[in-house]
Amino acid sequence: VRPVTEPSVPEPIRNFAKWEHIRDAELANPSFTAAGLSGLDETRNREWLALAASASGLPFPVLLARVNAFFNHWPYTKDEPEDRWTTPREFAALSGDCEEYAIAKYYALRFLGVPPDGLRITAVWNARRGEDHALLAVNTEAGALLLDCVTDTLLTWENAQHYSPGFSVNEDFLWKLPPE
């Protein structure tokens, strides 16, 4: 397993259509609003609104754990071979795979006031399963916490050594792992 190193100096995002489509759609018509998450059924939307209402009083790691668990209880749907990335609104209506979970968590946290510089949708290689995977890495005072769709437990890079990071994105930048 490749050791975790700090990715490269961030580059402005260019020619990353999958992500730019999501980012631009969310800027134009956010999935998360004061009315909730567009596309959710009434019961789930009430659950989301209750979580959002309690957010300001929660310690940051607890907030991350609750957002992670909220989305992790949705059905997982593979979108191969196309590997399409969708907005949280589309995810709420249709579900999705690991990228959609990471994107929904990213924009949920953005809606809750977390700045983009501490959030990174991260593509990894899962050595245990021999496949690509995506998760949301969130920078905290104690280091990065990983919000992963396969567990409600918040991971650190130290307890997720089966993941080798490849690249990360946020609204403005792309980080690539340096070559081995």
pLDDT tens track for 133-170: 999 999 998 899 999 999 999 999 999 999 999 899 99
The confidence score (pLDDT) of residue 2 equals 38
At 70-126, the pLDDT tens digits run 999 988 888 766 778 999 999 999 889 999 999 999 999 999 999 999 999 999 999
Largest CA distance in the chain: 48
Tell me how far apart the alpha carbons of residues 105 and 136 are, in angstroms, rounded to a whole number: 7
Q: What share of the chain is helix, strand, coil (3-state, %, to 5)?
A: 35, 25, 40
Residues 97/77, Cβ–Cβ less than 8 Å: yes
Confidence (pLDDT) at 127: 94
Q: Report the pLDDT averaged over residues 167-175.
A: 90
User: Rounded mean pLDDT of 46-72?
Assistant: 96
pLDDT tens readout for residues 2-40: 334 455 667 777 778 899 999 999 999 999 999 999 989
Contact 146, 155 (CB under 8 A): yes
Contact 116, 84 (CB under 8 A): no
Query: For residue 4, what pLDDT is reported?
Result: 44
Q: What is the pLDDT of residue 3?
A: 38
Question: Hey, what's the torsion of the CAs at 7, 172, 38, 84, to 10 degrees?
Answer: -60
pTM of the model: 0.92
Position 180 scores a pLDDT of 44
Q: How far apart are CA 163 and CA 134, in angstroms?
A: 10
pLDDT grade, residue 1 (50/70/90)? Answer: very low
